Amino acid sequence: MEAEGLDWLLVPLHQLVSWGAAAAMVFGGVVPYVPQYRDIRRTQNADGFSTYVCLVLLVANILRILFWFGRRFESPLLWQSAIMILTMLLMLKLCTEVRVANELNARRRSFAAADSKDEEVKVAPRRSFLDFDPHHFWQWSSFSDYVQCVLAFTGVAGYVTYLSIDSALFVETLGFLAVLTEAMLGVPQLYRNHRHQSTEGMSIKMVLMWTSGDAFKTAYFLLKGAPLQFSVCGLLQVLVDLAILGQAYAFARHPQKPVPHAVHPAGTKAL
């Protein structure tokens, strides 16, 4: 009787914990971008955020969704990818609008200064996805160009997946590419810190959020029996986060002496 009473209490509790873990898995990945989004809206300046972060996460999560058609995994991971894609599109929309508005304001000031000096001002050409100019890739003038690129990539990748869905090697490779792309997100920041021997301009709080989130995500993969690619690349992502934290600790203890007349560009952390 006592065991039955405990079961009556533990079963709903276990279900509640499972729901909580699933919700954290679905929405936890986008939480670090909320303060970044609000900060860009408040300052009307997107220079501190690299839109290539959006590119990597869009590619990774589109590939993960396609992988689901070949090998079904936990539903929260599928919903997480959908939520992340929407979040990155919102970030791209805001960053594009802010950047274009700032360029327009700068152009107006240039025109005003040129009018007072009777000088001619060259207007920068509009950059479009349909120009297929590799020099302007992912630096377009309209949010619709980014949407076109995402839809084109999704269409091509989806068609290739449809043709090769019966190949176990292709499906496993697709899953590996999806999680490996996401796992490599912190590598540019790691390289930047090493090259400048400094973590100046990098948010330690943000890295701590990534580390805790990636650790939770990896534990979720292991406990839920997710495909091996997820667990391996999750561990790799945690190691990259820890390496960045190690750099912050080491450079704080042994700061580099400033070099006269040297300009060090501020780094943007890739989330």
Least confident segment among 14-23, 208-217, 232-241, 252-261: 252-261
Residue 174 has pLDDT above 50, yes or no: yes
Identify whether residues 13 and 84 lie together within a single domain.
Answer: yes
Identify whether residues 151 and 50 lie together within a single domain.
Answer: yes
Higher pLDDT, 112 or 45: 45
Other residues' Cβ atoms within 10 Å of the Cβ of residue 35: 13
Q: pLDDT band for position 264 (50/70/90)?
A: very low
Q: How much is the pLDDT for 121?
A: 47
Residue 172 lies in a domain: no
Residue 174 lies in a domain: no
Global pTM reads 0.73
Q: What is the per-residue burial (b if ≥16 Cβ within 10 Å, else e) of 204-221? A: eeebebbbebbbbbbebb
* pLDDT tens by residue, 133-168: 888 888 898 999 999 999 999 999 999 999 999 999
Identify whether residues 155 and 38 lie together within a single domain.
Answer: yes
Identify whether residues 145 and 220 lie together within a single domain.
Answer: no
Residue 56 lies in a domain: yes
Please compute the mean of the pLDDT values over residues 111-133 and round it to a whole number. 65
Domain of 82?
A: 1-108+136-166
Q: How many domains does the chain have?
A: 2
Q: Which two tokens stand for residue 242?
A: 């820890």
Q: How much is the pLDDT for 38?
A: 85
- Among residues 149, 121, 133, the alpha carbon closest in space to that of 62 is found at 149
Identify whether residues 145 and 216 lie together within a single domain.
Answer: no
* pLDDT tens by residue, 187-239: 767 777 787 777 765 667 777 887 888 888 888 788 877 777 778 888 888 89
Q: How much is the pLDDT for 166?
A: 92
Identify whether residues 151 and 197 lie together within a single domain.
Answer: no
Q: How much is the pLDDT for 14?
A: 63
What whole-number distance in Å separates Cα of residue 61 and Cα of residue 179? 8
Q: Is the dihedral of CA 244, 247, 252, 256 positive or negative?
A: negative
Confirm if 241 and 209 have CB atoms less than 8 A apart. Answer: no
Identify whether residues 140 and 61 lie together within a single domain.
Answer: yes
Q: How much is the pLDDT for 124?
A: 57
Q: pLDDT band for position 4 (50/70/90)?
A: low
Identify whether residues 193 and 140 lie together within a single domain.
Answer: no
What whole-number distance in Å separates Cα of residue 213 and Cα of residue 190? 18
Identify whether residues 31 and 151 lie together within a single domain.
Answer: yes
Residue 199 lies in a domain: yes
Q: How much is the pLDDT for 119?
A: 52
Residue type at 193? N
3-state helix, strand, coil in the chain (%, to 5): 75, 0, 25
Q: How much is the pLDDT for 251?
A: 83
Higher pLDDT, 75 or 32: 75
Identify whether residues 205 and 104 lie together within a single domain.
Answer: no
Q: How much is the pLDDT for 148?
A: 94
Residue 116 lies in a domain: no
Identify whether residues 149 and 242 lie together within a single domain.
Answer: no
Residue 36 has pLDDT above 70, yes or no: yes
Residue 117 lies in a domain: no
Local structure of 124: helix, strand or coil: coil
Q: What is the 3-state secondary structure (H, E, C) of 54-75?
A: HHHHHHHHHHHHHHHHHCCCCH
Residue 240 lies in a domain: yes
Residue 37 CB contacts under 8 Å (≥ 6 apart), including other chains: 90, 91, 94
Average pLDDT in the chain: 79
Higher pLDDT, 14 or 53: 53
Identify whether residues 222 and 141 lie together within a single domain.
Answer: no
Residue 260 lies in a domain: no
Residue 211 sits in a domain whose CATH number is: 1.20.1280
